[in-house]
Chains A and B, each alone.
Chain A
Amino acid sequence: MSVDADIVRKIGHLARIKLKEENLAGLADELNVILGFVEQLDEVDVSDVEPMTSVIPATLRTRKDEVTSGGYADKITSNAPLSEDNFFMVPKVVE
């Protein structure tokens, strides 16, 4: 499988990264080198192999469903590039 400039433009949008039109062809070449490299995996027979879900034998711990932390909206928003009254400020989303 390989990608071309159109697919790279589409992936760029999915990843929310603005790509310059003049860079698309070069990026497609770079991505194709990497995709070509990972294609080696096609040599491996993985029928009857379960995909790994956890690298160590572990089950997720559970705990009581209760509030354990919170009440510090000022700290949460303290690093925001734009905030007001402990709210994050973003460009208008709803008309």
Chain B
Amino acid sequence: MSDLIKLSLADIQKGLKAKKFSASEVTSAYLNEIDAANPKLNAYVSIENEQALSMAKASDEKLAKGTGGALEGVPLGIKDLFATKGAHTQAGSHILDGFKPEYESFITNNLWQDGAVMLGKLNMDEFAMGSSNETSYYGAVINPHRASGSNKDLVPGGSSGGSATAVSAFLCAGATATDTGGSIRQPAAFTGTVGIKPTYGRCSRWGVVAFASSLDQAGPITRTVEDSALMLASMAGFDKLDSTSVDLAVPDFAAAVKRGVKGLRIGVPKEYRMDGMPDEIEKLWQQGLAWLKDEGAIIKDISLPHTKYALPAYYIVAPAEASSNLARYDGVKYGLRVNGDSIDEMYENTRAAGFGAEVQRRVLIGTYVLSAGYYDAYYVKAQKVRTLIKRDFENVFNDGIDAILTPATPSAAFGVNDQEMKADPVKMYLNDIFTVTVNMAGLPAIAVPAGKDKAGLPLGLQLIGKPFDEETLFAAGRVIERSAGLDFTPKKRW
């Protein structure tokens, strides 16, 4: 049955409908693989064996009758950030110890309504704060890929590192993920998988543990572009319980995958050519442009002048919103409580013990920039810069650009416990330099595996689209995937 796990989500869907295998078989195959691989990779923080098998059985009954939803019987992994009723939901944090929601997030509810099967909850950086999946209370996730000839463990990126590793190592057919500054696209690039952050408002945030509410957006990580289209179609949609959810029909994303790029205008922003960027990344970028041109796209040089200010503005806006959102973890309503002599001391003790170092750092920064006397100098200023970043994109789209091609990350995956990044938080933050602009402007963007570096590690390209035009990203992403024609299967060591 080990060949079942290697199928794409689309092929699992087809195989189930054609009764070539059952949902119970494919679910068991994934559960077996998780048992074998998880001690080494640490992708799952909770494996829901019983629930998975009972959901699969229910799917088999529907499939036998020829009924069932679009994802009937398809086994998925769910990032620990999504509320799943009665199941582990701790956002990778100690402070939510033992929390089992009484309700289901809008997105996971959509997936189960469409027949998908939940295998378990996926590891992540604590409260989605991190770019290496090393800030999790449950320990680091390990990238299934290694440099050729090396035994060194590499990070899968973050914060959706568990999602990216699980998809890359065939521990699920697809996974949910979330992206506040690059947390879907950077791990996808590091693991040779596809990840799309849809337009802000496309996927409901209801039941997704909040980090920075004006930036947070959920999306899928999958092994192919087509699979991402299929999964996003189920995840997306209007939800009246999220005041920023957009009441727009969900397009036929799968149809868009086959559309091609003939006549599309692809922008190449000169500001994304960073000093010290490895030659391999530059070469990959040029290769990506050549592929799109070969299929009939028109390549145009563009300028997004405020690009370099996106990351510093992000490190005001995101911690500010986080410090406010994380105020709810007080030892009263759920999770951990550490007692103290007064209620204030109980709050302080609980939050000191419950939050890890990176979360504490960001809550402190956020509290500082929002404190009396500093609000205008930091937060308001950052939101003004954000207006300028968004305006940059509006200008190029108004000039007729359909999508923008950039590298997804400034490097391939780096080592676990990297000392330089440990010593300097800003070095770690620079991982998101190409992805964070998109969150600041609320735009959709997809990361597609497009090449490998000298050591054989995956490298990704990013396509940025107009608001609510994920379809063009699927079309162009597919062209890059097909043109690259590479196999990103990691060498098995579990």
| In the assembled complex, A46 has its CB within 8 A of some CB on chain B | yes
A contact face: mostly helix, strand, loop, or mixed: loop
- 1/0 contact string of A37-59 vs chain B (CB within 8 Å): 11111011010011111111010
Contacts of A47-95 to chain B: CB distance below 8 A = 49-56, 58, 60-61, 63, 72, 75-76, 78-82, 88, 90-93
Q: How distant is B429 from chain A, measured CB to nearest CB, in Å?
A: 8
Residues of chain A contacted by B384 (CB below 8 angstroms):
44, 46, 49-52
Contacts of B385-400 to chain A: CB distance below 8 A = 385-388, 390
Partner of A90, one of B343, B367, B440: B343
Query: Do A60 and B385 contact each other (CB < 8 Å), given the known contacts A41-B312, A79-B99?
Result: no
Residues of chain B contacted by A76 (CB below 8 angstroms):
102
Residues of chain B contacted by A46 (CB below 8 angstroms):
381, 384-385, 388
Tell me whether B309 and A41 are in contact (CB under 8 A).
yes
Which stretch of B47-55, B153-161, B358-366 is in the interface?
Answer: B358-366
Tell me whether B374 and A15 are in contact (CB under 8 A).
no
CA distance in complex: A28, B147 (Å)? 37
Tell me whether B425 and A30 are in contact (CB under 8 A).
yes
Tell me whether A17 and B102 are in contact (CB under 8 A).
no
Tell me whether B388 and A79 are in contact (CB under 8 A).
no
| In the assembled complex, B303 has its CB within 8 A of some CB on chain A | no
Report how many residues on chain A are interfacial, defined by Cβ distance under 8 Å.
52
Q: How many A-B residue pairs have CB under 8 A?
A: 164
Residues of chain A contacted by B57 (CB below 8 angstroms):
none
Query: Do A37 and B343 contact each other (CB < 8 Å), given the known contacts A31-B361, A46-B388, A56-B442?
Result: no
Interface residue ranges, A against B (CB under 8 Å) = 1, 3, 7-8, 11-19, 27, 30-31, 33-35, 37-41, 43-44, 46, 49-56, 58, 60-61, 63, 72, 75-76, 78-82, 88, 90-93
Give 14 A-B pairs besides A16-B351, A34-B361, A34-B426 with Cβ atoms closer than 8 angstroms.
A11-B371, A14-B367, A17-B351, A18-B345, A18-B348, A39-B312, A49-B384, A49-B385, A51-B386, A53-B383, A55-B390, A55-B442, A56-B200, A58-B246
Interface residue ranges, B against A (CB under 8 Å) = 98-102, 199-201, 214, 240, 243-244, 246, 306, 308-309, 311-313, 315-316, 323, 327, 330-337, 339-349, 351-352, 355, 360-361, 363-368, 371, 374, 377-378, 380-388, 390, 424-426, 429, 440-442, 467
